[in-house]
Amino acid sequence: MTAWFSPEIPSNFGPMGWDGLPGLVLEASKSEKNYFIAEKITFK
């Protein structure tokens, strides 16, 4: 399992159980067929 996250965005949010890291998860994968990639981030 691999996860890429940004500690500059202080949110421990991630997709489907990929939370708890010290930053927002931007990309995560368990295999070549099971992956997540953030395409857009909007701040309010």
pTM: 0.76
* pLDDT tens by residue, the chain, 44 residues: 889 999 999 888 888 778 888 999 999 988 878 889 999 988 88
Kindly state the tokens that stand for 24.
């927002």
Residue with tokens 């070549």: 32
Residue 13 within any structural domain of the chain: yes
CA distance 33 to 41: 23
Residue 20 within any structural domain of the chain: yes
Under 8 Å between Cβ of 21 and 5? yes
Residue 40 within any structural domain of the chain: no
Residue 41 within any structural domain of the chain: no
Residue 38 within any structural domain of the chain: no
Residue 42 within any structural domain of the chain: no
pLDDT for 1: 80
DSSP letter assigned to residue 37: E
By the 10 Å C-beta count (0-12 exposed, 13-18 middle, 19+ buried), 42 is classed as: exposed
Residue 9 within any structural domain of the chain: yes
Q: How many domains does the chain have?
A: 1
